[in-house]
């Protein structure tokens, strides 16, 4: 049984870690950017060996009031999260701006390692990252004190520990989802192109299945080594979905892997990705031990996967009225994405 960090541990270390982080930020220390986080190393770090290097994220978007609101909201979410696959908040800093302080992730973000590193990320590590990220999402959706929708699952927001254990970070867009509520409907468009679910494009609908869709794209990135949207603006979803539908799984594999991958694990990951990127949210599985994790581990057969596809998680009175699997296709999805891109660039 997985256990998260005990709250008492965080309380015990929070003041010391935050004080240490503010010291690093306030003095002339060496720093570098890695993904979303700025990593600091004090010039006299040897004397501070009891404090490991830290990463922090500065809340800088919006007006002063908006930054304060966003800082308090994100901190309010993070203090309730205690899981090995969720980035560990160890403190906050308010000198020189509002900062969230985290334990340093040894390998930085998945985006850096998968797309920018000269070193090849082998299949065993990629599969481990997929399993860990699924566990983290399952915790947010079903085992947290209150359900949380992350809303911005992507390779940039997956940090990697020294042993390549993934940790979900950046809860700036996260939403609480009370038990009696099936979804949120948002009027403003936020998120990352390439990971955005169709129902969010068309109706602003956000629920667990929004994260499931983004997780499917993340799986495709791990399999293919391609970005969700490449430099020529080609969508990974549009390229990969027809290949999956034709069951040409090997055509998806990152050329850097060669033949160095586990065929069964590849099949499990590809099958899971295919289920997660269904245009209709009704057809996507849940991020739970009974669905996505079991499929990803190969603990369900083909007939079980078909039943997962046919079993809706959200009440059909909501999903059926918004999107139907047959009437919503890739062409319409692409048009919606293009429309929202134009709106975003015009603002």
Report the pLDDT value the prediction gives residue 268, as an integer from 0 to 100.
97
Tell me the average pLDDT of the chain.
78
d(CA 205, CA 198): 9
Q: What is the β-pairing status of strands 99-103 and 89-93?
A: antiparallel
d(CA 139, CA 133): 10
Angle at 108 between CA 107 and CA 110, to 5 degrees: 95
Tell which residue, 143, 168, 174, 179, has the closest CA to residue 290.
143
Contact in structure between 194 and 224 (CB atoms under 8 Å): no
Helix axes 123-138, 263-276, angle to 10 degrees: 40
Which CATH fold would you assign to the domain 108-305+319-346? Transferase(Phosphotransferase); domain 1 (1.10.510)
| The token pair that represents 325 in the structure block | 């699997």
Tell which residue, 120, 186, 195, has the closest CA to residue 154.
195
Backbone torsions φ then ψ of 103, nearest 5 degrees: -65, 140
Annotation marks residue 152 as catalytic = yes
Entry pTM: 0.77
Q: Among residues 9, 65, 122, 152, which one is catalytic?
A: 152
Q: pLDDT tens digits, residue range 94-119?
A: 888 888 988 888 898 999 999 988 88
d(CA 210, CA 195): 9
Helix axes 263-276, 208-224, angle to 10 degrees: 140
Residue 176 has pLDDT above 60, yes or no: yes
Q: Spell out the SS3 assignment of 57-121.
A: EECCCCCHHHHHHHHHHHHHHHCCCCCCCECCEEEEECCCCCEEEEECCCCCEHHHHHHHCCCCC
Tell which residue, 174, 157, 159, has the closest CA to residue 75.
174
Q: Which is more confidently placed, 41 or 336? A: 336
Q: How is the chain split into domains, by residue range?
A: 51-103, 108-305+319-346
Q: pLDDT tens digits, residue range 281-310?
A: 999 999 986 789 999 999 875 444 444 443
The neighbour count for residue 196, using CB atoms within 10 Å, is 24
Report the pLDDT value the prediction gives residue 36, as an integer from 0 to 100.
44
Report the pLDDT value the prediction gives residue 120, as an integer from 0 to 100.
87
CATH 3.30.200.20 fits 51-103, yes or no: yes
Q: pLDDT tens digits, residue range 39-64?
A: 444 343 344 455 567 777 888 878 88
Q: pLDDT tens digits, residue range 184-221?
A: 767 677 888 899 999 988 888 899 999 999 999 999 99
């Amino acid at each position: 049984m997985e256990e998260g960090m005990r709250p008492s541990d965080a309380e015990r270390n929070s003041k010391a870690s935050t004080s240490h982080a503010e010291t690093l930020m306030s003095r002339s220390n060496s720093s570098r950017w890695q993904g979303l986080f700025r990593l600091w190393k004090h010039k006299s770090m040897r004397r501070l060996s009891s404090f490991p290097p830290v990463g922090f994220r500065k809340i800088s978007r919006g007006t002063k009031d908006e930054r304060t609101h966003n800082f308090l909201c994100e901190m309010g979410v993070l203090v309730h999260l205690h899981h090995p696959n969720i980035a560990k908040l160890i403190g906050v800093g308010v000198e020189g701006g509002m900062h969230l302080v985290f334990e340093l992730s040894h390998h930085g973000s998945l985006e850096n390692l998968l797309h920018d590193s000269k070193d090849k990320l082998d299949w065993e590590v990629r599969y481990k990252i997929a399993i860990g990220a699924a566990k983290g999402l399952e915790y947010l959706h079903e085992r947290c004190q209150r359900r949380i929708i992350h809303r911005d699952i992507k390779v940039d927001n997956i940090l990697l520990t020294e042993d390549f254990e993934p940790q979900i970070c950046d809860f700036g867009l996260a939403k609480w989802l009370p038990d009696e509520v099936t979804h949120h409907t948002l009027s403003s468009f936020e998120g990352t192109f390439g990971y955005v679910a169709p129902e969010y494009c068309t109706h602003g609908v956000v629920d667990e299945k929004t994260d499931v869709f983004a997780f499917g794209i993340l799986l495709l990135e791990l399999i293919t080594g391609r970005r969700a949207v490449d430099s020529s603006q080609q969508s990974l979803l549009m390229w990969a979905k027809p290949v999956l539908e034709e069951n040409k799984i090997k055509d998806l594999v990152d050329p850097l892997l060669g033949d160095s991958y586990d065929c069964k694990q590849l099949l499990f990951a590809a099958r899971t990705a295919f289920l997660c990127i269904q245009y209709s949210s009704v057809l996507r599985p849940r991020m739970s031990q009974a669905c996505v994790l079991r499929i990803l581990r190969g603990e369900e057969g083909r007939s079980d996967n078909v039943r997962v596809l046919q079993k809706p998680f959200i009440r059909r009175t909501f999903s059926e009225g918004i999107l139907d699997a047959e009437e919503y296709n890739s062409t319409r999805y692409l048009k919606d994405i293009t429309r929202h891109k134009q709106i975003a660039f015009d603002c």
